[in-house]
Structure 1
Amino acid sequence: MKIAVHFNANHPTINTSFYGIPLLEKVFLSLLKYRNLNISTKIFIGDLLLLNLAYEYERTSSGTIGNFNKEKYFEVINGWIFTGNNIWRNFDYDRIEEVISSNVFAICFENIDFDLAEFLHMELKDYPPYLGAIEVDEVSELHWELYSQSLSPKYRIINDRINIFWDGINEGSKDNGWFDFLVKCGFIGVEFESLEGKYSIFDKYHNFKHARRVAEWKKRSNNFLAFVSDEVVTRLSDAAPDLGNKLWAAFKTFDVAETEEQYAQVTASCRRIIEYVADSLFPPTDEEHEGRKLKGPHYKNRLLAYADVERRSDTNIDVVIASTNLLSEQIDKLVGLVNKGVHTEVYREEARRCLIRTVLLLDDFISLKKDPFKINMHLLDL
């Protein structure tokens, strides 16, 4: 999700003309404390221009005049906190007066997971200038104005490395002064990255309509993917009652994994899940199917035999075969990395793909079955 953390830039503990420096340092130091950090996000920074949105402008013979509308200002504050949608927020409402009367500095993460957002909030909550965090809801035009239109793209963070954005046109826009600061914060790699005109007047996708469509797609896709996961466990648990436990264990192992051996356990869990489902749907047999052995070790043959028996269409069969082969290749690839000394980040990405493809393969097998799966009573503890 996209979140922003907010600070009172006028707080007396900030003793520097550019208040962004100590606030960024605090956020980066907090972020890099997170164990097993796995993040890839752009960072946008700047003042939260709530006050600006409360002005009403009129043209006169002497030019355009802006008039501050106090009532509109409180409407802006309310619309900023309560967008009308169900969003995550961790805000100290007792400090709203500081928001109204002070300059608010915002640091916005374009993409961050819920656990890391919660961790960051807990790390910052006792920091005196900190005001709170909120999920950016770009279905709201007000939020888009405040965070996407008004804040400036400054960095891209990929785990413990960081890129500094520059416009890609003028070499003078590269600010080398940030290098030492970012290394001091704890980043192990600092580089420049060109924006190539993105977020500028040349970017035809930088507008509210496009942002709203993307935000709506994210919300719907989250629901859709959750539905797929629910469907897999709900339907297959009749035939494979221990599936929920096995999936939970695999994802739990992935969440805490930090070493190559732990990621290898994730992959092994993926293989065992598929073997377990194969045993449940098409138990081992000494018989053969179209020349393929169906004994215990040949779980892929048994899955394909099951797909053939339950054949609903050649398209379904082709999808299952392709998915099975893809997952098998993914597992073999990760196993093959164990002794190659590659960076742990590679293991994590490969293990994540194994988990995703395991769930999607199970969903493919659900697509083969028009009727409910037969309940396997002998697999239940009665």
Structure 2
Amino acid sequence: MKQQKESLRLLEEALKELESPKGSVLSAIQKISRAAVVMDDTELHVWCLIQLGEQKYTAALRRFLDALVVRQEDDSEEVKDELSKYRKEIDDLGLKPGIHYSSEELTVKYPESGGGYSNIGFVEERYADLVRTKKGNDGTYYKNNLNSHINYVRKKSHELASNLFNQLKFSGTISNCFELLKNEVDDKLIDLDSVLTEQLMLAFKSVSSSKEEEWSQALTTCRRILEGLADQLYPASDQKINGRVLGQSQYVNRIWAFMDASIESDSNKALAKTHIDFLGSWLEKINKLANKGVHAELGQLEATKAVFHTYLVMADILEHLGDEAGDEGKPNINTATIDEIEALLSVSRNVAKEIFKHRIKEGFLDLDSLSKINGVGPKTLKKAEEEFVIDG
């Protein structure tokens, strides 16, 4: 995203230069070149280097162009072989016809009186000198040819810069925004359960498939992911919370209970609960239709909605793993994140997860309950007293 912003800034400045009667084509090309480097657009970068007179490319192009002109008048095998040799030379440099040496560009670059393959800044200077002295030529360079050269480069660079600018600014906006959400969820979920993360990634991949069976599979996978997440965050129990049964099959209720215990803001809590209730009931409805063999409503759009909703619910849930600090500048162990538990207690990721899950299940952690968790010994308990605020 940062690279994209920098490229857009450079391209916008370049376009302003090119659209101004007094703007410098040299300055514009330099900015387009930098933008191309940032976005790893090698073809555009090389085109810019040619306009800037990079000898590596311009010398080979001049040899090829001269041989091409000779070939128009001499059909001998010797001339053909020489042309083939120079064509191979520019091919080996990665130069492409229509991009780095179009017919129009070769026509403009051929006359030395128009600057040839010199740096476009040099061409602008020679033209400015002739305009200032009110001369049509200086014996080497001709004003009309220089002007044609500058106008061609101005027009072509404006076209290339505009294309890249529009591509960066307007294409893929929605997908990029979702990619941001997806990456955030994937990163957090993989710490909690790598298997669930892999399943979610596969479901996302499945909805772009052309096979109907993969769409149906993505729907089923979304439900299983939520079931697995419930097992991680709020294991099944015989108790009830606000009349909700928390058995093994009541995965929506268990995620709901996790959010009830973890989200402090009442408004955020209500929104997250509503979302998981909606997704759970919607997935159950869709899966019942699938089990009955009703496929008309189970198209790619439904599968895509299921995956997107699952990512949104995951974002709601994983955002609230606890991040409040204690009154003394130390985090409270009852609101600490998994990362804080792992880092500050110097325990493995698995032990940190066990501590976190125990806290969610019991609703509270103190030294006594902490000591009963597998992997937590005297040294860890001492570390907990030093690094965390532990109420009670």
Q: Which has the higher helix share?
A: 2
Q: Which has the higher strand share?
A: 1
Shared fold (TM-score, shorter chain, > 0.5): no
With the length of structure 2 as denominator, give the TM-score of the two structures: 0.43
Higher-Rg structure is: 2
Q: Which has the higher contact order (CA 8 A, sep 6+)?
A: 1
